[in-house]
Amino acid sequence: MLIIIQKIFQKITCLYIVTLRNNFPKLCNEVITDNKIADEKYGSYIEKAFEAHENKDWEKEYTYLKNAYDNGCQSQAILHDLAEACWNLGDYDNAIEWASKRIDLTNSAFAYKTRAYYYYLLEKNDLALEDAQWATMKVKDNPGIIDTRGMIYTALGQYDKALADFNAVLKINDKYASAYYHRGKCYEALGKKR
């Protein structure tokens, strides 16, 4: 059954690409050209960064990503990866800085969620909650975002709000292990058994 679904998906994807090319040939040529230029400018840096990441060589990963960034690759993904590389290096201030640049670029819920999680890990829970609130205002039904806010509420001792978030996560995805774990921690803090 899975193979049939994959083949259907491949056919739909091919039809979608053909439709795009037929209806927007100029745009497609611009994208292809832009991708070639980008690959020439910083493609090797990205490949080397991926390799360094696989080897858990965070210093090299950061260096290659920073070279790509300095050469014009300033996408959301690069900013996310730069923040993560800094975090892995223990350079938390720069991780926050790169996460903030990502927010400035995209203003996306997931960028806010990432920085909220970093602040949470650094026990800067008021800042974490502010970012988590922004993230949940932008995307109301993402279990990862809601779970992060619940973890922050837990850290702040706001257990009723945390429980509401963890229950909301489990309504969206009843297999979300983090929500079960943190909900249990809330019940434990409140002295409740469930």
How would you label 46-82 residue by residue, b for 16+ Cβ within 10 Å and e otherwise? bebbeebbeeebbebbbbbbbbbbeeebeeeebbbbb
Instruction: Tell me the mean pLDDT in the region 28-35.
Output: 65
- Asked whether the predicted pLDDT for residue 43 surpasses 70, the reply is yes
Give the separation between CA 23 and CA 35, rounded to whole angstroms: 20
**pTM beyond cutoff 0.85:** no
Q: How is residue 114 written in tokens?
A: 């990432």
Give the angle 80-82-86 at the CA atoms, nearest 5°. 120
Tell me, what's the pLDDT at 137?
Answer: 95
28 — pLDDT class (breaks 50, 70, 90): low
Give the separation between CA 76 and CA 109, rounded to whole angstroms: 12
pLDDT in tens, 149-193: 999 999 999 999 999 999 999 999 999 999 999 999 999 999 975
Give the separation between CA 27 and CA 168, rounded to whole angstroms: 41
Instruction: Tell me the mean pLDDT in the region 85-108.
Output: 96
74 — pLDDT class (breaks 50, 70, 90): confident
Quickly list DSSP for 137-188.
HH-TT-HHHHHHHHHHHHHTT-HHHHHHHHHHHHHH-TT-HHHHHHHHHHHH
Q: Determine phi and psi for 55, rounding to 5 degrees.
A: -90, 5
